[in-house]
Amino acid sequence: DLGSICTTVPKAMHNSLWDTTTISYSGCAAQLFFFVFFISAEYFLLTTMCYDRYVSICKPLHYGTFLGSRACAHMAAAAWASAQCFLNALLHTANTFSLPLCHGNALGQFFCEIPQILKLSCSKSHLRELGLIAVSAYLGLGCFVFIVFSYVQIFRAVLRIPSEQGRHKAFSTCLPHLAMVSLFLSTAAFAHLKPPSSSSPSLDLSVSVLYSVVPPALNPLIYSLRNQELKAAVRRLITGQLQKH
């Protein structure tokens, strides 16, 4: 989450504060590479968290066995160390910046986004765009199928819970994650798959913020505030500050 935001937001804030809109060619390529890398890692981590929700609701008695601290550390490390994140970022960056850019050098975006760079190409980039989409679909399809299958099983298990309080507790466990996954996937897919005819600067900017900034910014807040120890610490901090005043 921190990596995703730090790749795009600081440069955008710098440009806004200094009233400039420039970025070097190499800086743009580096920004694109790291952005795709962190977004890919984010997707794999969201998939891992989906497995956590599945086990906690569908197999609660086996949670300690399937998802101990060591298992969680291994899955998180696998998401980060996966060659797919690096390969995905490398292929997208290499394919995008191998195109000749002759339609100016102004991106209608606050960071170097693939669709905006492809608009500047003077070559027939449709095959390259299809290739990029095919690579992303291949790498992400397995995670998407796993997420859908897991939530189908989760909702089936929740609906079998007899008490309303139990169903509410189960839904509250998985709904924040489902909301973030839905927002992340829907806006990212729309940003990269929408036809050029439906594109507008304000729409492009809004959609890009929704998938590149909002989920990484809200994830720590949503999941941290579900931690009872953290909530107790925040209450003590606020209470202490109020007592001082």
Residue 83: pLDDT over 70: no
Q: pLDDT averaged over the chain?
A: 79
Whole-model pTM: value is 0.78
CA–CA dist 21, 193 (Å, integer)? 26
CA distances from 60 to 75, 138, 163 (A): 19, 32, 16
Residues 45 and 147: beta-carbon distance below 8 Å: no
- What's the pLDDT tens digit per position in 176-186? 888 888 888 88
Max mean pLDDT among 122-126, 162-166, 194-198 falls in: 162-166
Return the closest-CA partner of residue 151 out of 49, 30, 1: 49
Convert the pLDDT of each residue in 8-52 to its tens digit. Answer: 888 888 888 888 888 888 888 899 999 888 888 888 888 888 888
Q: Which helix (H) or strand (E) holds 238?
A: helix 228-244
Query: Based on the structure, what is the number of domains in the chain?
Result: 1
CATH number of the domain encompassing residue 199: 1.20.1070.10
Boundaries of domain holding 38: 2-244
Count of H helices and E strands in the chain?
11, 0
Distance CA 76, CA 63 (A): 17
d(CA 58, CA 151): 10
pLDDT (0 to 100) of residue 33? 92
